[in-house]
Amino acid sequence: METAIALPVLENYVQLSDRELDDRIARAKATLGARLVILGHHYQRDEVVKFADYRGDSLKLSQLAANRTEADYIVFCGVHFMAEAADILRAEHQVVILPDMNAGCSMADMAELEQVEVAWEQLSRVTPATMVPVTYINSTAAIKAFVGRRRGAVCTSSNARKVMEWAFTQGEKGLFLPDEHLGRNTGYRMGIPLEQMVVWDPHQELGGLTEQQIRSAKMILWKGHCSVHQRFLPQHVEKVRQTYPGIRVIAHPECRWDVCQLADEVGSTEFIIRRVSESPPGSQWAVATEIHLVNRLAQEYPDRRVISLDDCGCLCSTMYRISPQHLCWTLESLVAGHVVNRVQVDSETRQWARQALDRMLAIR
């Protein structure tokens, strides 16, 4: 009988050597066999992601896991909203597990359901225009469900433009959650002037906006950001071009607007990987995204120069919480018949969030 148990004291695992951890993780994984699928996000540390059956972004991984119907256990080496997305898309018999429940996402936490409900009510009172909410996949299940209830959709960094174009066929204004930078970069590429994109600050009265600003805006951007991507600055672009003449700067669209304007190319994590992998030997890339991915690309393509745009390196500290110790404990607990750290979205939230995801998937 499988039971849910509380977080253990991990001293026994902390004492293990790297070799012992690797051996025990591999042994537990082999014991569980086809009943287990391990997902590793691109930003995960190497000593964990090497055990993943699949690597990718959060949506891709969730879809792959849901299609592995022989697997009973989905162990997501990522952060909490990613595990929620997997639980929304999973088959009914599958269980989603996050090795460390403290692995959260600061961006997702910047849009709380109560704040968004208040904003929606105030915006609806100020403007008669039809609004369509769009939420980035990097949001909580509760926010996805909020969007689903109001006939909006989820987007990813790679399809944000398509989803926003769809939204403007459904209404006159878009409310974009929770990353203002992805929203602004997307809107600008669609030809929306910067002055028609305003930022709603949930900590200020009426979002810190005037009623006229709200009525004139085409897009209302939530005041939120990725703590990793926001660290990249225009001066980093200037410095790397001076240091490495001819280098190409490629930025994730969660970066600031002015950084993306200075970059040679802007695209999702999958886009960045593809561009570097398809570039000829001798190519030079300064990459504005999380350092684990940058370092992995540098290792996989040693005939190319691949460096971080910021030489200090930008680490996703919450993703880093998933350690080999947590993974080992998680898998050995499953072998012993215990489900630990299950992530389970309630049925109503799951239903509405799934509608928002399905709308995105239907957009071509």
Q: Would you write out the chain's pLDDT as a tens digit for each of its 364 residues?
A: 344 444 445 778 888 899 999 999 999 999 999 999 999 988 888 999 999 999 988 778 888 888 889 999 999 999 999 999 999 999 999 999 999 999 988 899 999 999 999 999 999 999 999 999 999 999 999 999 999 999 999 999 999 999 999 999 999 999 999 999 999 999 999 999 999 999 999 999 999 999 999 999 999 999 999 988 999 999 999 999 999 999 999 999 999 999 999 999 999 999 999 999 999 999 999 999 999 999 999 999 999 999 999 987 677 877 778 999 999 999 999 999 999 999 999 999 999 999 999 999 898 7
| Same domain, yes or no: 212 and 233 | no
Identify the helix (H) or strand (E) that includes residue 214: helix 211-216
227, 261, 295 - which closes a domain: 227
| Same domain, yes or no: 18 and 95 | yes
| Same domain, yes or no: 280 and 324 | no
Q: Could you tell me where the DSSP H helices lie in 110-159?
A: 113-126, 141-149
Q: Are 47 and 18 in contact (CB under 8 A)?
A: yes
Q: Dihedral (C-alpha) 45, 337, 349, 77: value to the nearest 10 degrees?
A: 0
Decide if 256 is inside a domain.
Answer: yes
Number of compact structural domains in the chain? 3
Q: Are 263 and 251 in contact (CB under 8 A)?
A: yes
| Same domain, yes or no: 88 and 156 | no
pLDDT in the model for residue 1: 33
| Same domain, yes or no: 134 and 62 | no
| Same domain, yes or no: 124 and 192 | yes
| Same domain, yes or no: 100 and 137 | no
Helix (H, G, I), strand (E, B) or coil at 34: helix
| Same domain, yes or no: 41 and 114 | no
- Phi, psi angles (nearest 5°) of residue 225: -160, 165
Decide if 364 is inside a domain.
Answer: no
| Same domain, yes or no: 261 and 337 | no
| Same domain, yes or no: 80 and 113 | no
- pTM: predicted TM-score of the whole model, two decimal places: 0.92
Decide if 355 is inside a domain.
Answer: no
pLDDT in the model for residue 2: 43
Residue with tokens 């022989």: 70
Decide if 150 is inside a domain.
Answer: yes
CB atoms within 10 A of CB 151: 15
**CA–CA distances in Å: residue 11 to residues 45, 127, 242, 325:** 21, 56, 48, 9
Decide if 65 is inside a domain.
Answer: yes
Q: Return the percent helix, strand and coil in the chain, to nearest 5.
A: 50, 15, 35
Decide if 363 is inside a domain.
Answer: no
| Same domain, yes or no: 58 and 92 | yes
Q: Are 315 and 294 in contact (CB under 8 A)?
A: no
227, 249, 270 - which closes a domain: 227
| Same domain, yes or no: 287 and 330 | no
Tell me the residue range of the domain where 251 lies.
229-308
Sheet (strand 305-308) strand order? 265-266, 248-251, 284-288, 305-308
Show the tokens assigned to 67: 């299609």
Per-residue burial over 182-217, b = 16 or more CB atoms within 10 Å of its CB, e = otherwise: bbbbbbbeeebeeeebbbbbbeeebbebeeebbeeb
**CA–CA distances in Å: residue 150 to residues 134, 215, 353:** 10, 20, 11
CATH number at residue 285: 3.40.50.10800
- Preceding omega of 178 cis (within 30 degrees of 0): yes
DSSP state of 342: B
Residue with tokens 């299609």: 67
Bridge partners (DSSP) listed for residue 250 = 265, 287
Per-position DSSP letters for 289-310, written without gaps between them: S-HHHHHHHHHH-TTSEEEESS
C-alpha 155/C-alpha 164 separation (Å) is 8
pLDDT in the model for residue 3: 42
